[in-house]
Amino acid sequence: MAHIHTEPQQHDFTASAFIVRVDGPEPLVLLHMHRKLNKLLQVGGHIELEETPWQAISHEIEEESGYTLAQLTLLQPK
């Protein structure tokens, strides 16, 4: 996806999340290979103009991990 802000002094906002599995003997963190940076990163991406950070991370989690928010337990305090 193209960047929303392309003018000088403009910045795109991003949202990201760590998915940690604790159903085995050791916690496991889910990472994915970023195709442009060629690095392992937590799931996340750019926040589009018409969405909130929670909406952005919701669709990024589903796109990059296959999980939905309903399948995960949120550990961030309200």
Q: What is the pLDDT of residue 12?
A: 80
Average pLDDT over the chain, rounded to whole? 88
Q: pLDDT: is 8 or 54 the higher one? A: 54
**Per-residue confidence at 27, pLDDT binned at 50, 70, 90?**
very high
Residue pair 55/14 in contact (Cβ under 8 Å)? The answer is no
Kindly give, in sequence order, each residue whose CB lies less than 8 Å from that of residue 35, ignoring residues fewer than 6 positions away: none
Look up residue 57 and give its amino acid: I
Contacts 24+ apart (CB under 8 A), 2-10: 3/46, 4/46, 4/48, 4/49
Q: Would the pTM of this model clear 0.75, i.e. be above it?
A: yes
pLDDT at site 2: 60
**CB hemisphere CA count around 21 (13 angstroms):** 10
Question: Quick check: 75 pLDDT over 80?
Answer: yes
pLDDT in tens, 5-22: 677 777 788 999 999 999
